[in-house]
Structure 1
C-alpha cells in the first residue's frame, strides 16, 4: 500500500548495491526537503524517543494526511523525508493500515542504522500514527 513517492525511493534503493550509496541517497532526500520554520520547532511538534532533534507537524487537507518535518541531523532528516514519501497524501483513515516496518524493511534500513537511529525511526512512525488517529 505504499505511495508512488515511496515506490520511487524503493526502486532507487534497489539499484544502489552499496549501503554507503544508500546512506548518501538518504542524506540527499533530507537535503531536498524544505526546512521547517523554526517557529514550528516547539515541544508540541517534537518527537520524543529520537537521539537527534526531530519535529513533525501534521498538515491535514481534504481528509488526506501530510506533515511538515525536520531534524537537526542530515541522516535523520532523510529518514523524515522517507516517512513523508510513505505517508503524504494517504487518506487519514488509511494511515494506520500502512505497515511501516514492512515497507521500510524493503529499504534495508534497520540492518544499517544504529540502535538509536532505529529507535528514533520507530518513534517517528508511532508519532505519525498518533497524529493521524487524532485527525481521524
Structure 2
C-alpha cells in the first residue's frame, strides 16, 4: 500500500481494494496465458466488495481468492482481503466473476481443456489450503 492509496480519513481508499483484487487475478492467470487460444482472454464480469474494517497505512494488503464455482466459461471466486501479518482479521470480503471471452465479439467461450485442468488442479490445491494468495 502506498501513502497516496489513502482517503481523507487516512483509510485505504475503496478503489485500492478493487485494484488489489485485479493484481491478484493477474498473478493467478498470467502463468496460464500460453494455454489460451489466440483472440481469447479473461474479462471481469462482476466485482463487488463489502468493506468490513478500515485499513490504514502502512500495510501490505493480502488478497486470498477462494473459488466458489468453475463453470463452462466462468470462474466465480470469494475474495478475502487482510493486512499482511493479521491472518485472523478480514478487512474486506468480495466476490468476483471472470469469463473467458472471444475478445473481438465479446461472447463467452468454454475453457480450453488445458486451462480447465490447470484451474481444477489449482482448485484441488485450494481445497486443501485457505486459497490462492497474491
The TM-score by the shorter chain falls in which range? under 0.3
Q: Which has the higher helix share?
A: 1
User: Which is higher, the Rg of structure 1 or of structure 2?
Assistant: 2
Q: Which has the higher strand share?
A: 2
